[in-house]
Structure 1
Amino acid sequence: MDSATRSSAFTSLSRDAERNLIARTRPFAAQDTRRSWWEVGTTFAALLGAIALAALPSWWPLRIVGSVVQALALIRSFILVHDYLHGSLLSGSRIAKALFHTHAVLLLTPPRVWTESHNHHHANTARLAASASGTFTTWTAQQWREATALERLAYVVERHPLVMIFAYPLAFLGGLCIVPFVKHPLRYWSAGFAVLLHVTISAAVFHFGGLGVYLTAMVLPLSLGYALGAYLFFSQHNFPDVALREDPDWTHASAALEASSYLACGPVMAWFTGNIGYHHVHHLNPRIPFYRLPEAMAAIPELQNPRTTTLHPRDVLACLRLNVWDGKRGRMVRFRDVPASR
């Protein structure tokens, strides 16, 4: 089925049909506590093992392998924090709260900052009129035409691939920690604490482990992990057949089905990314634990024909080339495809 046909099918759902669809996802929001703790235990065991591999061997190629595995394990551990803050993973456990809040600070995603911005993202995905808090800014072709040169430059910089490559210092250390703390130090004190703790740990690793360990056990895995994480977040809502809507046409279900992608990947990457590739299911009901997302998709026919992307270089490039929303054409286009006048 092509994108136009899919778009027509989803937008034709009545409000009652959309409510019914969301209701049919609710049984999958019930978590298995033992399964949840197993997923937590295996994730942190993999992360600690990868850190050891990145820091201890004397043969540096083996440490590089450890760095890559650590980066992937960090992404999975972030998904666990993400699910906990959504209330879909061990939400009633004090131990889980202490673990995930601590890990969130270590990951440079202070819980309060992340929750506020991410909840806004979920409530406004694919709404053209909404502010860009918690996500990448997306302009319409008209906004691009009417913007000043300085405004255009800021927009281009925000969506540039280099910003994703350097997401570690720019998006996480800067955007999620330093900026909120500077603006509201009392409200976001944990963001300032995250920066202080990060600098302290970095200095300790460098002092006791030396430059080599600092690079392979900290700089490289964090840089790789945050870069891939930033791209995943970008591509989940910026892909060739995404559909954005004005407020009168916007619904929660259409945003999930039309503007949240399914990342087709193998079981290894699905494990390391915590099934976040089932993003259309997650946006339809964020209370579903990550390990039940495939089950929900398999059980509900409306979720089985998603807007799909992959990590193939061809698809990555296709996502990165999308710049602005052209409402007349009903799709994302490149800057050069925007006419100079209306």
Structure 2
Amino acid sequence: MERTASHSSKDLIARTRAFATQDAVRSGWALGSTYAALAGAVALAVAAPWWPLRIVGGFIEALVLIRAFILFHDAMHGALLPKAKWAKALFQVQGILTLTPARIWNDTHNHHHANTARIAADSAGTFVTWTTEQWRKATGWQRLGYVVERHPVTLLFGYVTAFLISLCLVPFVKNPKRYWTSGLAFGLHVALSVAVWHFFGLAVYLCAFVGPLFVAYALGTYLFYAQHNFDDVAILPDADWTHADAALEASSYLRCGPVMAWFTGNIGYHHVHHLNPRIPFYRLPEAMAALPELQGPHVTALTLKDVVGCLRLNLWDPARRRMVRYSDAVASY
């Protein structure tokens, strides 16, 4: 039987609802300015007269793609322009062009929000986390699959592993009727790849198309992984799980400067977002500042030390109540 959230948890969630209202003008400006920045970055990557500037343009394009994705992500949660039919149509198109079709994204991401930090949850829409005991009991093939899914190379190639394969090709093959938009996204992406290379050449293909996508999806996949995979995360059995606990104890606050906060659409306020995903991205800092319970989060960063530390944590040890390495599971056996 599912555990009922405590009165304090219900009260905290209720107090976040004051921030789950959007300003249509602010939302429209965020959308328009993001697309304008994306167009400018693409133009620089395509037409800059000096090739280092093209690379800079491609890198900026990758960062703006992350922000554009966050706007799509908010729209799918109903937090951005939910009543505007034009915006709904625009985000549907964006989802197909950026390998995140709305149907498969909603199915998997809603599952992620409903099952973050559950030991027993399946891996749909998230990275599965095993306990040390599960690791010890697993077969060699099962362990290999687990290692591959969480390996840094898998995250680095998120463009292929997480987006082209997991969100497009696999769901379409498994259920083409329900996920026909995934098939459309995959086919259209292949066609665009061929067209860009054929009509604009290898330099434009690398600097303005595949390069920015590779960088954007590698960073995006890592952010998705890292904000639920840190040293003092709490992974809970169903009997002890609540929505508020999962938000506050298993979702981190990513500390970054204002520039990266803009490019990442405030997704660093992840504990606030998981507590109430209907809060628009631009109101997440406001919610955190207003509610004392949100001001002592688990903090992560994009420093090399934090990234390496995150990638070395692979299993949940219930006895130690922390994430550990594979070798720790053997040593403590």
TMscore range, shorter length: over 0.9
Which SS does the other structure have where 2:323 is aligned? Answer: strand
Q: Percent identity?
A: 64
- Tell whether 2:196 aligns with 1:202: no
Residue 76 (structure 1) aligns with: 67
Which one of 320, 331, 336 corresponds to residue 322 of structure 2? 331
Between the aligned partners of 1:18 and 1:175, the Cα distance in structure 2 is 34
CA contact (8 A) 2:232 2:321 kept: no
Determine the structure 2 residue equivalent to 1:131: 122
Match of 1:313 among 275, 294, 304: 304
**Residues 1:255 and 2:243 are matched in the alignment:** no
> Aligned AA for 1:108?
L
User: Residue 170 of structure 1: CA displacement?
Assistant: 1.4
User: Which residue does the alignment assign to 1:29?
Assistant: 20
- CA–CA distance in structure 2, aligned partners of residues 170 and 334 of structure 1: 23
1:85 corresponds, among 69, 76, 79, to 76
Deviation of 1:341 (Å): 7.4
Secondary structure of 1:338's counterpart equals helix
**In structure 1, C-alpha distance between the alignment counterparts of 2:230 and 2:139, rounded to whole Å:** 26
TM-score by length of 2: 0.97
Residue 5 of structure 1 is matched in structure 2 by: none
| Paired residue secondary structure (1:292) | helix
- Alignment of 1:264 onto 2:218: no
- For residues 110 and 256 of structure 2, what CA distance do their matches in structure 1 show? 26
Alignment of 1:188-199 (within 5 A): 188-199=179-190
Which runs of 5 or more residues in structure 2 are unaligned?
Answer: none
- Residue 59 of structure 1: how far off its partner (Å): 1.2
1:212 aligns with 2:203: yes
What stretches of structure 1 of length at least 5 have no aligned partner? 1-13
Alignment correspondent of 1:169: 160
Q: CA deviation at 1:138?
A: 0.5
Measure the CA separation in 2 of the matches of 1:340 and 1:310: 29
TM (norm. structure 1) is 0.95
Equivalent position amino acid for 1:212 in 2 = A
Opposite residue 298 of structure 1, the aligned amino acid is: A
Q: Which residue of structure 1 aligns with residue 221 of structure 2?
A: 230
Deviations 1:151-194 (A, max 9, x none): 10110000000001111111100110000001111110000000
Aligned residues: 329
Q: CA RMSD in A?
A: 0.9
CA distance in 2, matches of 1:149, 1:200: 39
CA shift at 1:58, angstroms? 2.7
Q: Please show how residues 40-189 of structure 1 align to structure 2 within 5 Å.
A: 40-189=31-180
Q: Distance in 2 between matches of 1:144 and 1:152?
A: 7
Hey, what's the Cα distance between the residues in 2 that align with 1:63 and 1:315?
A: 30
Q: What letter matches 2:126 in structure 1?
A: T
Q: For 1:104 and 1:110, locate their aligned partners in 2 and report how far apart those are by CA, in whole Å.
A: 5
